[in-house]
Amino acid sequence: MSRFRISIESDLAAVFVVSVLVRGVCEHLGMDSAETSSIEICAVEAVTNSIKHAYDCAHGREVCVELLYTQDRLRLVVQDDGVSMPDQHRRTLTTGSNVFGFDPADLDRIPECGMGLEIIRQAMDEISYSTIGGTNSLNMTKFLRKREPQGILACNAPS
C-alpha cells in the first residue's frame, strides 16, 4: 500500500492542488480517464465542503487529504477540525438524496446546490463519515478496474 498526505489551508483558491495531486497519482497508477475524473471530482467536492461548511470559509484552518492505494482500490480521506456534518446530510452519504431525480424540462426544479454529497455517493464504492476527538473524516473508497500489469509491455527483445 502506498500513501500520501497533503494538507492545505482553508482557502478555496488552494483547492486546485487537490486536483493536481489526485489526478497526478491516478495517472501515474495508469487509471483510465473516467476513473481519474470521478475520483478528482469527489476529492474536490469533499475538500470544498470542508472549507465552506466545516470552516464557513474562514481562512487559516487546515484540511488534510490522505490518498492510499493498493492494486485494487484507492482510498481518499478528507479531514477537517471544524463543524461536523449534520446528521441529515450524513444520511445522504448512505441512503442517497433525490437531488438528481429532477425532470430536465422542469427548469425551476433543477438544483443549483446540494449536489456534492450525492455526486460522491454515486461515484464512490464505500463511504463513511466520522468525528473523533474533534477531527471529522470523510472516508471514500473506489474499487479500481483491473489494469494491464505493467510488466506485459516490458523489455521487448530487440528484433
Ligand X SMILES: Nc1ncnc2c1ncn2[C@@H]1O[C@H](COP(=O)(O)OP(=O)(O)O)[C@@H](O)[C@H]1O
Helix residue ranges, H only, 12-157: 16-28, 33-49, 87-95, 116-123
Give 30 or 130: the residue with its C-beta nearer to another protein. 30
In angstroms, the first-to-last Cα distance of the chain is 37
HSE, CB side, 13 Å, CA atoms: give it for residue 148: 7
Instruction: Count interface residues toward a copy of itself (CB under 8 A).
Output: 19
Region of 1-9, 20-28, 67-75, 83-91 interacting with ligand X (CB under 6 A): 83-91
| Residue 1 binds to another protein (criterion: CB under 8 A) | no
Strand 135-143, strand 2-9: pairing: unpaired
Q: Is 158 among the residues that bind another protein (CB under 8 A)?
A: yes
Touching ligand X, residues 10-69 (CB under 6 A):
45, 49-50, 52-54
Q: Which residues of 60-95 are buried (b: 16+ CB within 10 A; e: fewer)?
A: ebebbbbbebeeeebbbbbbbbbebbeeebbebbee
Helices (H) and strands (E) in the chain, counts: 4, 5
Q: Which lies closer to ligand X via its Cβ, residue 86 or residue 134?
A: 86
Stretch that binds a copy of itself, among 15-23, 44-52, 101-109, 117-125 (CB under 8 A): 15-23
For residue 26, what are the contacts with CB-CB under 8 A and spacing of at least 6?
A: 35, 36, 39, 40, 74
**Binding of a copy of itself at residue 147 (CB under 8 A)?**
no
Of 12, 24, 33, 143, the residue at the interface with a copy of itself (CB under 8 A) is 24
Residues forming contacts to another protein in the complex (CB under 8 A) are 11-13, 15-16, 19, 33-34, 36-38, 40-41, 44-45, 48, 51-52, 100, 102, 104, 107-108, 110-113, 115-116, 119, 122-123, 150, 153-159
Residues forming contacts to a copy of itself in the complex (CB under 8 A) are 2-9, 11, 13-14, 16-17, 19-21, 24-25, 28
